[in-house]
Amino acid sequence: MVQRRIPKIKDLAPLMHFKTPELNAKKRRLESALTIYDLRDIAKKRTPKAAFDYTDGAAEAELSLGRARQAFEDIEFNPSILRDVSAVSTGWDVLGAPVAQPFGIAPTGFTRMMQTEGEIAGAHVAARAGIPFSLSTMGTTSIEDVKAANPHGRNWFQLYMWKDRDRSMALVDRAAKAGYDTLLVTVDVPVAGARLRDKRNGFSIPPALTAGTVINALPRPEWWINFLTTEPLAFASLDRWSGTVADLLDTMFDPTVTFEDLAWIKAQWPGKIVVKGVQSLSDARTLADLGVDGIILSNHGGRQLDRAPIPFHLLPQVVREVGNEYEVHLDTGIMSGADIVASVALGARFTLIGRAYLYGLMAGGEAGVDRAVQILSEQVSRTMRLLGVNSLEELDPGHVTQLARLGRIAQPVAASVGL
């Protein structure tokens, strides 16, 4: 028989660890977020459906985005044991200058629509974290204001080539004069992808006040108060636009851009130049031969061509094609520090986070972005320690096994027709 007794106060005292209640609601909800997916859940509750779906969604059936995330889940790490990992370095040089983490903030459009602090919040966090911040051509904060928010850090400018070449290059000139060190030329938007969530939501810039949006706003008053009482939402580098995003892209962006145009842009930019949106071995080789400083394997977060190649699957092949000394960066589907570590192990010099950063922004403004970067940084460090490595340089393909879920079927040979 189990002998029972009444517990004594002196026995209970060591077990009592009552935490002082956190009265700051924002701090309380952000501290409860342990993963980027937790931040996504918070963001969904706090952001109107049209704005959240614009961030969260992708093109058509959203297969490209789902496959990109699945590719990261379908890996097996191969750790080494009995290594001294008391000290771990998560930084190295990227494009000729140091970064504190192997990831930076990707260029995102319409950022102040997600949360009113927008690009300024991202630039402030990037400055503190020692990582680059990328400003989109479709950004809602000016080139100069982002530089002022991150005066001593690394600022990158992302360029879409417009039909009006002079206006495009005027932005490039402004970025150069403001001290941006890298130009990201995005090449996978000859036309807009079919983003069906946006169509179904009647999404427009600026957001329209309809019966549906008003009803959706009722449980999200803070977003609407911020939206209605701060500087009107507009593109910092464009004229005001009233219409759908797809119409804007199709109206402004130039589907005739070629490798010759890229060489022309390169000749006018004084800093590093990286091409974003590379999705094939042959294009990667052509760009390396052209002399750009790096490429970003990306399918635009699944927002352009659905069923596009999975960047993480392309990564080892591209690195073999262009050589380990050439900088290959990667985005699309990254939701954890483990994803980032796996990318570096397979040859990526750097990665970019888009949705992960925006989920943090929507969850809590600048503090939410801080939390997203903190979560990813902690996961990078912990994953490296568990793999038994002290630095990014020690990561290699032997640390990662890509498990097969989607196998390629050989293309059938066309049957000959007899006469």
Determine the residue type at 7: P
Instruction: Please indicate whether residue 300 is annotated as part of the active site.
Output: yes
Nearest one of 183, 174, 173, 170 to 132, comparing CA atoms = 183
CA dihedral 33, 38, 40, 44 (to 10 degrees): -90
CA dihedral 330, 335, 338, 342 (to 10 degrees): -20
**Integer Cα distance of 297 and 147 in angstroms:** 26
Tokens describing residue 340:
């980032």
Nearest one of 130, 33, 69, 132 to 361, comparing CA atoms = 33
The dihedral region occupied by 130, where left means phi > 0, alpha psi between -120 and 50, and beta the remainder, is left
Neighbours of 259 (CB within 10 A): 14
Q: Are 218 and 104 in contact (CB under 8 A)?
A: no
303 burial class (0-12, 13-18, 19+ CB within 10 angstroms)? buried
Active-site hit among 17, 124, 152, 300: 300
Nearest one of 74, 73, 72, 83 to 384, comparing CA atoms = 83
Q: 390-404 burial by CB neighbour count: b if 16+ within 10 A, else e?
A: eebebbeeebbebee
Q: 36-69 burial by CB neighbour count: b if 16+ within 10 A, else e?
A: bebbbebbbebbbbbbbbbbbbbbbebebbebbb
Helices (H), 130-164: 143-149
Neighbours of 114 (CB within 10 A): 24
**Integer Cα distance of 58 and 194 in angstroms:** 8
Tokens describing residue 295:
């490429």
**Integer Cα distance of 306 and 195 in angstroms:** 10
Sequence-distant (6+) residues with CB within 8 A of 179 are 147, 155
List residues with catalytic annotation: 300
